């Protein structure tokens, strides 16, 4: 009898180990499909990934890193405000009514042909012990919507869950945005428009080149956010008592606020048609404590014909220019945002000749 028990002991141990594994793993495996009207995501969920796609178009993946930073397609920092609005939308979705029966067949076809697939993933753990936060994080898809943000029959915003058959008219409770604005299928629409979000303490060097007048070029060197030195275009150190110190704080603090208005995808290969010159009028290169370098090139664009400039005014747009970041695509940017850093050497010098302007 004892020999039989000894022979069966490994099997018993294996079964107990399996049961224990199931005990800690199964609580984290929610295999239940949401009901066909369960569009809203619970506010307690920690959403960590969203995939946007449409048949025949490139997937846009928005994912949260372990450090809490959202990335676009694993390559670019995401616009955090846009991400917050999107996640909030999932938690505020409300069903108004099923799509009217007379239009249901047509709308189902439209959803199949041109619907936007939205897959939402939440944080889960492989090991879940009662009373513990869990171990070994993973992602689990908790919603898969197919959305027709605005259909031709003006029924508002139509969605269905991928495993369900019935499409519903939905709206965002308490939110000014709508699904048409939130389901952008172009990766550039989700990228962070801030080009160098660095505080003065994170900056180690700033190099400015004034292409029309090299004598107005300069360099700044910063050490631990305290030691500061300025070099002219010939790399000569400028005595600190010759520098207008009141201008330094606004200049360096403005760098973290620099952002473009709109990125123009594809312009790296095909330049914007209204680019006034292929040569930049100003270049700013910023080095940081993370051993990263950001190069900003500023280009003038042709004057617009939208009525903002009077006949006889300058031949270039005095409101907006083209910005190129790290030799990438061009972006439309506003002078009013970047003007605090578009400064010549003489601007920093006490009693200097400040007659030089970029707007000749």
Residue 76's DSSP bridge partners are: 72
Q: Is residue 115 part of a domain?
A: yes
176 and 213 assigned to the same domain: no
176 and 294 assigned to the same domain: no
pLDDT confidence of residue 176: 67
Q: Is residue 7 part of a domain?
A: no
- pLDDT tens digits for range 251-306: 999 999 999 999 998 898 899 999 999 999 999 999 999 999 999 999 999 987 76
At which of 156, 190, 224 does a domain end?
Answer: 190
What total number of domains does the chain contain? 2
Q: Is residue 19 part of a domain?
A: no
- pLDDT tens digits for range 110-121: 999 999 999 999
152 or 198, higher pLDDT: 198
DSSP code at position 356: -
223 and 114 assigned to the same domain: no
Q: Is residue 27 part of a domain?
A: no
208 and 337 assigned to the same domain: yes
Q: Give the Cα separation of 207 and 186 in Å (integer).
A: 33
210 and 297 assigned to the same domain: yes
Residue with tokens 């042909």: 113
186 and 206 assigned to the same domain: no
Q: Is residue 212 part of a domain?
A: yes
42 and 183 assigned to the same domain: yes
Domain that holds residue 149: 33-190
Q: Is residue 26 part of a domain?
A: no
232 and 325 assigned to the same domain: yes
Q: Is residue 195 part of a domain?
A: no
82 and 179 assigned to the same domain: yes
Q: Could you tell me the pLDDT band of residue 156, with boundaries at 50, 70 and 90? A: low
Q: Is residue 12 part of a domain?
A: no
Residue 61's DSSP bridge partners are: 51
185 and 318 assigned to the same domain: no
Q: Give the Cα separation of 204 and 225 in Å (integer).
A: 8
235 and 305 assigned to the same domain: yes
Q: Whole-number mean pLDDT of the chain? A: 86
pLDDT confidence of residue 155: 47
- Cβ atoms 117, 60 nearer than 8 A: no
Both tokens of 231, joined, read 């070099």
Reply yes or no on whether the pLDDT at 24 is more than 60. Answer: no
DSSP annotation string for 169-230: EEEETT-S--HHHH----GGGGB--BS----GGGEEEEEEEETT-GGG-EEEEEETTTEEEE
47 and 162 assigned to the same domain: yes
Reply yes or no on whether the pLDDT at 360 is more than 50. Answer: no
Both tokens of 301, joined, read 């664009």
């Amino acid at each position: 009898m004892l020999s039989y028990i000894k022979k069966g002991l490994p099997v018993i141990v294996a079964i107990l180990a399996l049961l224990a594994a199931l005990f800690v793993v199964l609580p984290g495996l929610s295999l239940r499909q949401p009901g066909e009207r369960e569009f809203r995501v619970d506010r307690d969920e920690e959403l960590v990934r969203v995939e946007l796609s449409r048949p025949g178009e490139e997937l846009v993946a928005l994912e949260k890193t372990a450090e809490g930073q959202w990335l676009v397609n694993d390559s670019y920092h995401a616009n955090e405000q846009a991400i917050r609005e999107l996640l909030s939308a999932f938690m505020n979705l409300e069903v108004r009514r099923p799509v009217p029966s007379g239009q249901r067949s047509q709308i189902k076809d439209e959803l199949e042909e041109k619907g936007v697939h939205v897959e939402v993933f939440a944080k889960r753990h492989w090991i879940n012990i009662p009373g513990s936060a869990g171990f070994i994080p993973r992602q689990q898809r908790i919603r898969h919507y197919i959305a027709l943000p605005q259909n031709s029959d003006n029924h508002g915003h139509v969605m269905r869950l991928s495993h369900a058959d019935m499409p519903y008219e939905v709206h965002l409770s308490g939110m000014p945005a709508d699904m048409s604005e939130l389901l952008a299928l172009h990766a550039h629409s989700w990228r962070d428009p801030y080009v160098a979000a660095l505080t003065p303490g994170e900056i180690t060097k700033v190099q400015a080149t004034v292409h029309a007048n090299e004598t107005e070029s300069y360099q700044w060197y910063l050490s631990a956010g305290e030691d500061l030195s300025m070099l002219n275009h010939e790399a000569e150190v400028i005595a600190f008592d010759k520098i207008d110190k009141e201008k330094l704080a606004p200049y360096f603090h403005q760098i973290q606020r620099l952002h473009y208005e709109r990125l123009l995808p594809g312009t790296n290969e095909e330049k914007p048609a209204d680019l006034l010159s292929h040569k930049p009028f100003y270049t700013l290169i910023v080095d940081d404590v993370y051993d990263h370098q950001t190069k900003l090139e500023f280009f003038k664009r042709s004057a617009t014909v939208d009525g903002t400039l009077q006949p006889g005014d300058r031949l270039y747009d005095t409101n907006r220019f083209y910005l190129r970041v790290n030799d990438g695509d061009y972006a439309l940017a506003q002078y009013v945002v970047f003007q605090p850093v578009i400064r010549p050497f003489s601007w920093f010098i006490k009693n200097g000749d400040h007659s030089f302007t970029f707007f000749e």
